[in-house]
């Protein structure tokens, strides 16, 4: 009986995680495409940096701001351009989020000694951070090839290097082997530990604060209403996503560079990153810092934070509601 209950709980967590991840990814895809275009561009991505480079004799930048990038993508690729790579993104994010939430719930159940979600709110913040980090690592390894394909398809521009996901995966496998599908995995795992830990740890912390705030505001002091509203869940997810993304962005830039090494894009998109341009993660961080400055490590940070906030909020709200709905149907 207990084993059946655990299987049902795992199914609920995985299903709710997959659905919430798919919704969030589709809604925020335009911001993700702009972010990726900034991250893989070796030239400056801001008007001020471009002005500085112009004085030095180098002013060839394809994208120099969110509005300008949006206009360019819309003019050259139409609306579908903002959803480039969305299919592999969904194939990545749905199993990723499913694995992440299922593993997270299992770890929290182990740590708290209870499989009930309401008992997990009182977990130590440190256990929430550790559970989130481990869940993120498991999910990353399970879905990484789709993440790489998403980046390549979203960054290629026009004319397309690869017409679809199948063509990209076959060519990568043929030229780089199975390891090619996992290019950039190391900085991803290094990034996901603090990112997932911060995201889930801060989410649980903000949720606890909201519950305490609701209890204080309640007119009935004996039976305080601690129920967190959907808007409050949205705020908690927004804050958690923003904090995590702001801290871990440089590692995301390095990961994207590893993923697009050797991609033969049209010259108008700027300099191409040669195969094996970076020896390892440390070399990538060092080279970007030397050649592009601190701004290079934070290319795409604006659309990234703008995207991370609603993405985190939508994911957590959709997960909570889907999880509750599935639980009511299966109970």
> Measuring CA to CA, which residue among 17, 161, 30 is closest to residue 93?
17
d(CA 276, CA 19): 37
Query: What pLDDT score does 111 carry?
Result: 73
Query: What pLDDT score does 256 carry?
Result: 92
Other Cβ atoms closer than 10 A to 262: 15
Helix (H) or strand (E) holding 206: helix 185-217
Query: What pLDDT score does 55 carry?
Result: 41
Query: What pLDDT score does 57 carry?
Result: 44
Other Cβ atoms closer than 10 A to 224: 15
Query: What pLDDT score does 120 carry?
Result: 62
Evaluate the omega torsion of the peptide bond into residue 159 and state whether it is cis, within 30 degrees of 0.
Answer: yes
Query: What pLDDT score does 122 carry?
Result: 64
Query: What pLDDT score does 83 carry?
Result: 92
Question: How far are the Cα atoms of 122, 204, 229, 237 from residue 217, in angstroms, in the given order?
Answer: 20, 20, 13, 21
> Measuring CA to CA, which residue among 306, 304, 308, 292 is closest to residue 45?
292
- The reported pTM is 0.72
Where the chain has pLDDT below 50, the residues are 54-57, 221
Residues 6+ apart with CB under 8 A from 22: 90, 93, 94, 97
**Coil, strand or helix: which one is 58?**
coil
């Amino acid at each position: 009986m207990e084993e059946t209950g655990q299987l049902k709980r795992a199914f609920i967590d995985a299903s709710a995680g997959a659905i919430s991840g798919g919704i969030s990814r589709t809604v925020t895809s335009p911001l993700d495409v702009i972010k990726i275009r900034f991250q893989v561009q070796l030239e400056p991505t801001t008007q001020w940096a471009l002005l500085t480079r112009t004085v030095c004799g180098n002013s060839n930048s394809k994208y120099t701001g969110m509005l300008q990038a949006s206009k360019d993508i819309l003019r050259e690729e139409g609306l579908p351009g903002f959803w480039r790579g969305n299919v592999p993104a969904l194939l990545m994010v749905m199993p990723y989020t499913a694995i992440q939430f299922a593993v997270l719930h299992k770890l929290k159940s182990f740590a708290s000694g209870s499989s009930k979600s309401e008992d997990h709110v009182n977990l130590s913040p440190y256990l929430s951070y550790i559970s989130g980090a481990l869940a993120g690592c498991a999910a990353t390894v399970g879905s990484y090839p789709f993440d790489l394909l998403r980046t390549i398809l979203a960054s290629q521009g026009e004319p397309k290097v690869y017409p679809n996901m199948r063509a990209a995966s076959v060519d990568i496998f043929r030229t780089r082997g199975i390891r090619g599908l996992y290019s950039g995995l190391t900085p991803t795992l290094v990034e996901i530990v603090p990112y997932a830990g911060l995201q889930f740890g801060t989410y649980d912390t903000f949720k606890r604060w909201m519950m305490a705030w609701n209890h204080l505001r309640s007119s009935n002091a004996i039976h305080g209403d601690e129920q967190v509203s959907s808007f409050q869940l949205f705020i908690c997810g927004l804050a958690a996503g923003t904090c995590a993304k702001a801290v871990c962005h440089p590692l995301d830039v390095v990961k994207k560079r590893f993923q697009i090494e050797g991609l033969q894009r049209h010259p108008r998109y700027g300099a191409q990153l040669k195969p094996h341009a970076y020896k390892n993660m440390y070399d990538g961080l060092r080279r970007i810092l030397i050649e592009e400055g601190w701004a290079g490590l934070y290319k795409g940070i604006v659309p990234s934070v703008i995207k991370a906030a609603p993405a985190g909020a939508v994911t957590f709200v959709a997960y909570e509601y889907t999880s509750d709905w599935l639980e009511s149907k299966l109970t």
